[in-house]
Structure formats: C-alpha cells, structure tokens
Amino acid sequence: MRDEKFNEIYIQPLHIIYGDEYEKIKSATLNFSNVFDKIEIGRPSLFNNKDYFDAIEALKYQLPKIEDNSSIVLMGHGTTHHENSAYFQLEYVARKMGLKIFIWQLLNLFLKSQTLLLI
C-alpha cells in the first residue's frame, strides 16, 4: 500500500468482541506504525455497555416470536481470552430486555464435555 502512495490506513476488523484475534490484528498494526503517516484500528462491535443493548435491540427484530414455553439458543465459538465474559454480558442484556435467550460457547461446551469424560 505504501508503494501505491497510501499514507493513511484505517482498519475495521469484523470481530464481535475484543478477543485474541482482535489483539493479533492490533499487534500486527503496530508493526506498520512507522511505515504510514497514520494507521488506526476500529473497535469491535461489542465494545462498551451501550453496544450490547444496541445489538440486542437490532437482534430482537431478526428472531422468531418466542412462545412462553420456548427459548432461543445462540452459539458463539468462545475464547480463552478474558473477554469471553462478553457472551455472558450479551445474554444478561437480552434477558434484561425481556428476551428468553441463552448464549452458549462451543469452547465452554468442549471443556465441560472433557471434564465430564475425566470424572
């Protein structure tokens, strides 16, 4: 890009949470800070508390009507990064906004199944 005379670079990752993958992009971006006049990276979709409410507000129009005896399960891949708590916060906000949603992470399901196998 430098050879093509780009001086300013703006990167917007498509990550939902600030996790390992986002940190890798952020770290890689630092390697080019002396190559360009300006290089910036945008934040993930769920960055501050308001983002969670906005996401659930948008999501509720995409979900089918939930009957009284039903719930919806949403799946995420999960992470060992401390930002895995974002899944729990999203579920909390959904419940606070009146949606019967469970948010599960594949990583946690895998770890729980491994624990069960060990017992």
Tens-digit pLDDT profile for residues 87-100: 889 999 999 999 99
Burial class (CB in 10 A: 0-12, 13-18, 19+), 84: middle
Q: What is the span of the domain harbouring residue 30? A: 1-45
pTM for the whole thing? 0.75
Shared-domain flag, residues 58 and 104? yes
Shared-domain flag, residues 80 and 98? yes
pLDDT tens digits, one per residue of 22-44? 889 999 998 888 899 999 999 99
Dist CA 76 CA 71 (whole Å):
16
Active site residue 77: yes
Shared-domain flag, residues 79 and 115? yes
